[in-house]
Structure 1
Amino acid sequence: MVIPFFSEQLANINAIRSTIAIESTLDSVPEKITIKNNALCFDQNIIVDFDAFNVQLDPRVLTITSTPTTTPSTTNNNINIQEYDIKLVVSKPIGSNKKYDDDLKTCWTAKELEHLQGLSCRSCHQLITSMNEFQSKDLPSEHWYELVECWICHEAKPEEHRSRMQPITARSKMVLVGGTYLLLHPQDLLIDSFTVDDISNIKWDTGLSKKWISIHCTKCQEPLGEGQYEQNQEGEISLLATKFYKYCISILPMEQQQSLPTFMEFLLYDLFDAAKAHATYRFIIQGRKTKQIYALLWLFNWDTHIIYNRGFLDKNTSNDIYREHVMKVFYIDCTQEKNDNKKRIELWSNDKTTDHLIYPESCCELLLKSLEQSTKLVPPSARRMNNPAMTLLHNFSVGFIKR
């Protein structure tokens, strides 16, 4: 008998908020929910043994409430199930949330790339670089320029400092390492290994003269990053620098990388970095090539744990229990044509506290798929935010990003 179970640890109040689902026809359900030997039980069935996760419950405190509605069972549509919310109190502190700096673990730092011999496309392994020896240096945070400008504003003669401020540009025979990308000079690349996306719609006479445009692999057509291009007076386009996304490439030699970092790892880095620099928790996820907005993302808790048994997933028959370190978010899938979505997109786009995160379309689709899968772990009654007191989050879905 699989009893659907989902819980989230609330470290700030030393509690665990749990939900189970029981057949609605059964009687005296609350009386049958107990804590025995540090395990949450229903009647004679152990739902989860918290000893396995080094969590010590206080057996004296057990608060149980039932949800007002019933839903069809995920394994048998002829049976309705009743959800019960259970508040468990932890006798030992779970621990406070970690600071941002402790969690910003960057993959492929300059030190890790000291013996770099080249780069290749992750999808088809086509070689990208023409050199086999590089120096490597870490770049400062993406937001360092903003911080410097803020400091300059408080100087006696800010115009003198601004005249000396120059962006960090690509350098030959050197890999400049950002949090989510590698910056290389065109002289060190096999130019035929990648090509720029469609530039027919680029307005060279507006905005900055140097523009970052998406590039992709010439062999498999998968995205690789961005190229910084400039148009001269004769209309010729020249490449000045390239940013290769770490989640789109592999490093050589292959034995140097034990496992390839994924896009979701770098998404976490971007969320942390932006939240730390701007104290913002709202993000617009946008496709780089099409400019389509895929999702609105609200970062709610960057450091929490969930414990669950996949019982709320369709056709689950396993009693296996899982515990994951996650980031909790609220999100809206903007690929669905809805009037409410359009209004929210316009509202968020005009809000200066909202950050835009722009990724290849395939990565945006991967993010949405991952969020939707995480939502299915949650009890049906808690998958959407419909609290009348939280109108800003009305109809946002609850999701988790694994850390």
Structure 2
Amino acid sequence: DVVFNLRESLKPQKNYVFYCQSCGDIIVKDRKFFRVLPLPSEHWSALVEEWCCHPDPFARSTLQPQNDDCFLGDTFFLLNSGNESHKSKENTRVICKRCKTILGEAVSPDTIKYYVTEVIVQPSEGNFSPTPRSQFIQSVVAQCLVELSSAKSTFRFIVKGDNGKIYILVWLLNCDTLLVESLESSSSHSVSTLFGDSFMPSSAPVGTWNAVKVLYQPCTKSRNNE
């Protein structure tokens, strides 16, 4: 897989290295976690009053990782900042020291939120191998859509920016599409989608990839403002 699946592969008591996806610079080196825990859904607090017959017991508490914790969200993960010093002096954004890419944000003095689209996590014994940006983003988004649709039985999504602006509407159609690409030569690349048993010529080498099928609607300034 292009993307290191955090929920399935990030385990406690093992060492990991965090890299900037854009340039490969090491952000966190040889970090071992005692606890790796999934976070509740993003808007879980809005539903608390539906489940509790008394005042919200979580109103004054926040889910903050301790020194050796890693909390996994749908599109981010939280780490205790420890000795890391990537925070910008001007604001709470966390930036890469080498390429100045925004990696996340400081949500409290001791907690950093890293975006899964900007950071690659690999076991310490592994080697960093760069992945084209477009391919990485597609893989991350597809993985998030599959996990969210499976967990919440929803197939329509809204992609928003940090400012709350809506950029794109996505409708997930299926998660079991298989892409087949001819690897014979760069001039003869062809991609087909298989939905069942179909004939494939065996004379040329092929590559196969799992994919998701979506409909999407951009919401840019020049179109679809409503």
Structures share a fold, TM > 0.5? yes
Check if 1:219 corresponds to 2:98: yes
In 2, Cα distance between equivalents of 1:110 and 1:316: 37
Equivalent residues in 2 for 1:3-402, closer than 5 Å:
106-107=5-6, 109=8, 111-112=10-11, 114-116=13-15, 118-129=17-28, 132-142=31-41, 145=44, 149=48, 152-153=51-52, 158-159=53-54, 162-164=56-58, 166-186=61-81, 188-191=82-85, 193-195=86-88, 199=91, 214-229=93-108, 239-251=109-121, 254-256=124-126, 262-288=136-162, 293-305=166-178, 317=188, 324-335=209-220, 337-338=222-223, 341-343=224-226
- Give CA deviations for 1:9-65 in whole Å, capped at 9, x if unaligned: xxxxxxxxxxxxxxxxxxxxxxxxxxxxxxxxxxxxxxxxxxxxxxxxxxxxxxxxx
Say if 1:305 and 1:190 are closer, same or farther in 2 by CA, change over 3 A. Answer: closer
* Residue identity in the other structure for 2:95: H
Partner SS for 1:219: coil
Deviation at 1:331, TM superposition (A): 1.4
Deviation at 1:139, TM superposition (A): 1.7
- Segments of 5+ residues of structure 2 without an aligned counterpart are 191-203
In 1, Cα distance between equivalents of 2:213 and 2:70: 34
Larger radius of gyration: 1
Partner SS for 2:14: coil
In 2, Cα distance between equivalents of 1:273 and 1:111: 16
Partner SS for 1:274: helix
- Give CA deviations for 1:109-156 in whole Å, capped at 9, x if unaligned: 575453225534343444434885442322244359369737724xxx
* Residue identity in the other structure for 2:106: G
- Residues paired across the two proteins, number: 202
Deviation at 1:225, TM superposition (A): 1.5
Partner SS for 1:194: coil
- TM-score where L is the length of structure 2: 0.64
Contact 1:223 1:248 in 2 (8 A): yes
Indicate the structure with greater helix content. 1
Q: Which residue of 1 aligns with 2:200?
A: none
Deviation at 1:172, TM superposition (A): 1.8
- TM-score where L is the length of structure 1: 0.40
Deviation at 1:178, TM superposition (A): 3.8
* Residue identity in the other structure for 1:227: A
Say if 1:325 and 1:114 are closer, same or farther in 2 by CA, change over 3 A. Answer: same
CA RMSD of superposed structures (Å): 4.1
Deviation at 1:316, TM superposition (A): 5.6
- State percent identity of aligned pairs: 20
- Segments of 5+ residues of structure 1 without an aligned counterpart are 1-104, 200-212, 230-238, 310-314, 344-403
Partner SS for 2:211: strand
Partner SS for 1:331: strand
Contact 2:18 2:29 in 1 (8 A): no
